[in-house]
Amino acid sequence: MKNLFKAGWIVLLIGAVMTAIGVAKDGAKSIEFKGIKPVELKEDKKITKKYDVKEAKNLVMALNKKADGSNSYYSSIVNVEVRQGNDFSAKYIGSKNLAPVIKNEGDALKIYAGKKSGNYRKVVFDFDGFRSSTDWTSRLVITVPRDYKFSSVENDGMNGDLTLSGLKTENLKLHMYDVSDIMLNNIEADKVDIDVSSDLKVNSSKLSYGMIKVDDGDLNLFDSEVNSIGFELNDGDFSNSNTVMEKSSVKSNDGDISASNATIKGRCQFISQDGDINVTNAQADGYVSTTSSGDNLLHAKKGEATTLEENPNAANILVLMNSDGDNSVK
């Protein structure tokens, strides 16, 4: 009961503050809280900004840092798209406060957090209730000449969505741990190091040699080629369609693994700790399918908590191992 009275007094206090601000400013105003202190929210401006950028061998997206190299109070909420174009260019549309800083430094084009970036977790209260004060629609578009190949493309922290389209790079490094979704479309990378905590979509791409980790999200792989890639998912599903997999593996702690129309080259593995593995219309010369406690289907063969085999010594073989779930190969 005491907590209820406290909550009531808090709501009443907020209402009184809003009323006072409204009367003083001749109308209803939104407020935000700095600590426990309510202050009038200053509305952000929308801007369009073009940057003067030059050719660079490396692209570094460092939206969790300021231009002086120090850590930003938080990673800017800017959606970034890097795609093919006629030349190097950069254009930003969105919140003035979130406008990034972009510089050519040595052989790198670097993107930093804006000078006035605020905390995206700020809470605003107005007559519509509580909400975030952050503009989530701000967007930066960078273009790169067709057939240009980077030495490296790196992203080490950001909170907006990231889309890479039509790029070639020797090294691709993406480490993104907050609210971002990532799309890789028509990407060629000789080496990859990807570690993210949300959904990852890969389409029409060629990725070789490295690790792709998804902590809390799904991984969708379509119409692509992967060579010597280790996929690891902690809590999410892996889906693979019309993809060539060579000497690659998929490990899932808590989620399903599915593959349709996959072409298997060398030894490939699907390993699940807690989830089902479903394979349809795969092109492989051999299979080994093992379940510890679930059903096991390998074409015409059936079993439970067993190992089923077809041409287990084949060069192009798909190995399925499941600790707590069903395997199905059709």
Within a 13 Å sphere around the CA of 126, how many CA atoms are in the beta-carbon half?
A: 15
* Residue-level pLDDT at 312: 96
Query: Quick one: average pLDDT of 209-232?
Result: 97
* Residue-level pLDDT at 124: 47
Length of the chain, please? Answer: 330
Residue 192 has pLDDT above 60, yes or no: yes
Within a 13 Å sphere around the CA of 273, how many CA atoms are in the beta-carbon half?
A: 9
pLDDT in tens, 230-252: 999 999 999 999 999 999 999 99
Amino acid at 167: L
Q: For the chain, what percent of residues have pLDDT higher than 90?
A: 65
Query: Quick one: average pLDDT of 188-201?
Result: 95
**SS3 assignment for the chain:** CHHHHHHHHHHHHHHHHHHHHHHHCCCCCCEEEECCEEEECCCCCEEEEEECCCCCCEEEEECCECCCCCECCCCCCCEEEEEEECCCEEEEEEECCCCCEEEEECCEEEEECCCCCCCCCCEEEECCEEEECCCCCCEEEEEEECCCEEEEEEEECCCCCEEEECCEEEEEEEEECCCCCEEEECCEEEEEEEEECCCEEEECCEEEEEEEEECCCCEEEECCEEEEEEEEECCCCEEEECCEEECCEEEECCCCEEEECCEEECEEEEEECCCCEEEECCECCEEEEEECCCEEEECCEEEECCEEEECCCCCCEEEEEECCCCEEEC
Alpha-carbon distance 22 to 227, whole Å?
62
pLDDT in tens, 46-87: 899 999 999 999 999 988 777 766 665 555 678 999 999 999
Residue 185 has pLDDT above 70, yes or no: yes
pLDDT band, residue 134 (cuts 50/70/90) = low
Structure tokens, 31: 């407020």
Residue 46's beta-bridge partner residues? 95
Q: What is the pLDDT of the chain when averaged over all its residues?
A: 85
Per domain, the residue ranges of the chain are 2-40, 44-183, 199-330
pLDDT in tens, 275-295: 999 999 999 999 999 999 999
* Residue-level pLDDT at 97: 82
253 close to 234: Cβ distance less than 8 angstroms: yes
* Residue-level pLDDT at 6: 54
* Residue-level pLDDT at 130: 47
